[in-house]
């Protein structure tokens, strides 16, 4: 999502330019430190001032059941090489150190230090820290995934995206830092490459301005990590991040990369420097993490392999009966790219064959259809046999709606291969949605093969800029689109919490007040999906 520039999602962001903010909300306190299973006494509390040596705090990332990625930035390392010691323990007092080593903070990486701590126990909480010249970093906590073949009782993940720094306060991250979680899945738009709009819709300043080269992309990450609540969330939990478009440029595609190779290289280099992920092969980020036989997490890349959006990505509303909008129905048109698509489908099939209960897909763009006008009707087709399948007026061709052939292929694969209990958890559009996914959404009798949960935004605005009443009215209208949504909230912000057990998948939308530095978080709507069913999702609205 763009910072304040008018783009394909301006409909969601600005609405009628009404009063800013959410009116009349009654906010309740979030969970507090001390949640069972989550000792917090050694961790930096939300609001902790910046350490001038470890100015971006510490972070960890999911890797394998026996290895985690550890990260920090040593500020003096941005100008000269600085030896940095690291250690991992099974207790917060570091009485039992199970892995240690040294690395160097180097100017060529902007002082960032990233190590792969190996030989760790699966399914276990570990604590880690860095040391430079006797000065210790904040302590971080990380939990390894469960071992292959094991049967964990539960896996609990936070699902987050879209954290435009000027748009609001990181209330959601303060809340996430205190929760009992196995990991945080970040679905992109971690930074916004655009500059800050100085006006009534910005609550704090992004002093970097537009990011266009390596220095300014790096500066964006430093600016975002200056927030103490984001640093606290990183210190509390391992992250599993992927990028979307704003880590590079709005609505980017493989064509954008070809047209701007140096800017793309700078953007992706900065991302790899600042995110706790271990490189795989060049700029490949798609990967998979499993927690025993309970959860298989697929993390695709929805940007660098995709075909360009119709009309060069400049449009939003798309009439798919005429060029260039008709392109969205082209056979072979891809969001994933051929190689990634094969990996994506093979992995989902393998998870089913291996008996993994829940298949969770970290989905940057909404996969449920948002068609404003259905033109694929029998009486219209009788008059015009050339109408393409799923023809209509489409809201957002940057999402899966712009890649109709490939979406149909994915849904058919889930059905034909019997891949059950598949949940798409989604970011990007600054709002909360929930919908069943059918093999053929134009056929009411078509089977449901998956469920989608769109998990809001940390701060990036939507219809809250137009006021609660307008936002609520548009949310209701959106929920009535065909094939329809169980839930739509275009006003509030926060994250999703996914808890998987052998019996059910529970998803909770947590709602955060982003308009004040001391804003609070409350529990929003909740969903319970019984395992072994395609469409048995119960909604508890709030």
- Please tell me which residue, 242 or 315, carries the higher pLDDT value: 242
Tokens of 494: 């926060």
Predicted pLDDT at 469? 85
* Residue 71 banded pLDDT, cuts 50, 70, 90: very high
Q: How far is CA 459 from the centre of its chain?
A: 13
CA 491 distance to own-chain centroid:
18
Host H or E run for residue 497: strand 493-500
5-14, 54-63, 75-84, 265-274: least confident range: 5-14
Q: Given this model, what pLDDT does residue 39 score?
A: 39
- pLDDT tens digits, one per residue of 169-206: 999 999 999 999 999 999 999 999 998 666 677 889 88
H/E stretch holding 525 reads strand 521-530
Average the pLDDT over 263-279 and give the result: 98
Min mean pLDDT across 16-25, 225-234, 262-271, 336-345 is at 16-25
CA angle 215, 76, 233 (to 5 degrees): 75
CB-based burial, 181-197: b 16+ in 10 Å, e otherwise: bbbbbbbbbbbbbbbbe
The percentage of residues in the chain with a pLDDT greater than 70, rounded to a whole number, is: 91
Angle, nearest 10°, between helix axes 228-236 and 171-178? 30
pLDDT over threshold 80, residue 29: no
Q: Is the pLDDT of residue 64 over 50?
A: yes
Query: Which residues, in sequence order, are CB contacts of 385 under 8 Å at separation 6+?
Result: none
Q: How far apart are CA 431 and CA 368, in angstroms?
A: 14
Contact call for residues 61 and 299 (beta carbons, < 8 A): no
**What does the angle CA 191 – CA 363 – CA 514 come to, to the nearest 5 degrees?**
45
Would you tell me how many other CB atoms lie within 10 Å of the CB of residue 209? 12
Average pLDDT, the chain: 91
Question: 397: exposed, middle or buried (C-beta count within 10 Å: 0-12, 13-18, 19+)?
Answer: buried
Asked if the model's pLDDT at residue 145 lies above 60, the reply is yes
For residue 23, what are the CA distances in angstroms to 283, 304, 491, 524? Answer: 43, 39, 10, 16
Instruction: Note the pLDDT of residue 27.
Output: 24
- Global pTM value: 0.92
Average pLDDT over residues 205-213: 93
DSSP state of 205: -
Give me the percent of the chain exceeding a pLDDT of 90: 81
Residue range 453-482: mean pLDDT, rounded: 90
Q: For the stretch 40-54, what's the b/e string if a residue is b when 16 or more beta carbons lie within 10 angstroms of its beta carbon?
A: bebbbbbeeeebebb
Beta-strand relationship, 287-291 and 493-500: unpaired
Lowest pLDDT segment from 21-25, 59-63, 419-423 = 21-25
**Per-residue model confidence (pLDDT) at position 250:** 95
Q: What is the pLDDT of residue 47?
A: 81
pLDDT tens track for 500-519:
999 999 999 999 999 999 99
Query: CATH homologous superfamily of domain 10-48+138-540?
Result: Alkaline phosphatase D (PhoD) (3.60.21.70)
Nearest to 389 by CA among 335, 345, 443: 443
Average pLDDT over residues 370-383: 90
Position 273 pLDDT exceeds 70:
yes
Q: What are the helix (H) ranges across 142-185?
A: 171-178
Is the CB of residue 234 less than 8 Å from the CB of residue 228? no
| pLDDT computed for residue 314 by the predictor | 66
CA 434/CA 484 separation, integer angstroms: 9
| Among 97-106, 313-322, 374-383, the least confident range | 313-322
Residues in the chain: 542
- Residue 466: its pLDDT value, please? 83
> What pLDDT is attached to residue 315?
66
Given a cut of 60, whether residue 76 has pLDDT beyond it is yes
Per-residue model confidence (pLDDT) at position 31: 31
Cβ(490)–Cβ(431) below 8 Å:
yes
Give the three-class secondary structure for 71: strand
Q: What is the mean pLDDT of residues 351-374?
A: 97
End-to-end CA distance of the chain: 26
Separation of alpha carbons 62 and 60, rounded Å? 7
The one-character DSSP state at 514 is -
Closest CA relative to residue 19, chosen from 200, 197, 164: 200
pLDDT of residue 497: 98
């Amino acid at each position: 999502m763009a910072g304040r520039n008018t783009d394909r999602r301006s409909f969601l962001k600005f609405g009628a330019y009404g009063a800013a903010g959410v009116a009349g909300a009654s906010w309740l306190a979030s969970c507090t430190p001390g949640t069972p299973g989550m000792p917090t006494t050694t961790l930096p509390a939300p609001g902790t001032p910046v350490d001038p040596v470890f100015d971006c705090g510490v972070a960890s990332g999911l890797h394998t059941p026996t290895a985690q990625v550890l990260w920090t930035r040593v500020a003096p390392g941005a100008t000269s090489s600085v030896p940095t010691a690291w250690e991992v323990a099974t207790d917060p007092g570091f009485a039992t150190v199970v892995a240690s080593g040294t690395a160097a903070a180097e100017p060529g990486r902007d002082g960032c230090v990233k190590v792969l701590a190996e030989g760790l126990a699966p399914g276990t909480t570990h604590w880690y820290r860095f040391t430079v010249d006797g000065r210790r970093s904040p302590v971080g906590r990380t939990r390894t995934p469960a071992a292959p073949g094991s049967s964990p009782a539960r896996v609990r993940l936070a699902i987050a995206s879209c954290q435009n720094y000027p748009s609001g306060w990181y209330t959601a991250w303060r809340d996430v830092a205190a929760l009992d979680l196995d990991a945080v899945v970040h679905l992109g738009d971690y930074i916004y490459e655009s500059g800050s709009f100085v006006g009534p819709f910005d609550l704090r300043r992004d002093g970097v301005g537009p990011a266009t080269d390596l220095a300014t992309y790096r500066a964006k990450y430093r600016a975002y990590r200056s927030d103490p609540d984001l640093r606290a969330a990183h210190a509390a939990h391992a992250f599993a991040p992927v990028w979307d478009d704003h880590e590079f440029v709005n609505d980017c595609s493989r064509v954008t990369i070809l047209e701007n190779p140096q800017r793309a290289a700078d953007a992706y280099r900065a991302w790899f420097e600042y995110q706790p992920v271990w490189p795989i092969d060049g700029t490949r980020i798609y990967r998979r993490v499993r927690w025993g036989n309970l959860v298989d997490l697929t993390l695709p890349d929805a940007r660098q392999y995709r075909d360009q959006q119709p009309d060069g990505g400049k449009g939003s509303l798309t009439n798919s009966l005429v060029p260039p909008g008709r392109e969205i129905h082209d056979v072979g048109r891809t969001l994933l790219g051929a190689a990634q698509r094969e990996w994506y489908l093979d992995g989902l099939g393998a998870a089913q064959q291996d008996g993994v209960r829940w298949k969770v897909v970290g989905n940057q763009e909404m996969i449920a259809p948002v068609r404003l006008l259905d033109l694929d009707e029998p009486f219209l087709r009788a008059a015009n046999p050339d109408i393409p399948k799923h023809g209509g007026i489409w809201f957002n061709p940057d999402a899966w709606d712009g890649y109709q052939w490939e979406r149909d292929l994915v849904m058919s694969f889930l059905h034909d291969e019997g891949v059950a209990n598949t949940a798409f958890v989604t970011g990007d559009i600054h709002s909360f949605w929930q919908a069943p996914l059918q093999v053929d959404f134009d056929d009411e009798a078509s089977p449901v093969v998956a469920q989608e949960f769109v998990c809001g935004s940390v701060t990036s605005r939507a219809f809250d800029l137009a006021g609660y009443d307008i936002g609520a009215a548009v949310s209701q209208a959106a929920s009535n689109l065909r094939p329809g949504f169980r839930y739509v909230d275009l006003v509030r912000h926060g994250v999703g919490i996914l808890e998987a057990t052998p019996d059910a998948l529970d998803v909770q939308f947590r709602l955060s007040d982003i308009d004040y530095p001391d804003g609070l978080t409350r529990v929003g709507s909740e969903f319970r999906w019984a395992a072994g069913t395609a469409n048995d999702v119960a909604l508890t609205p709030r």
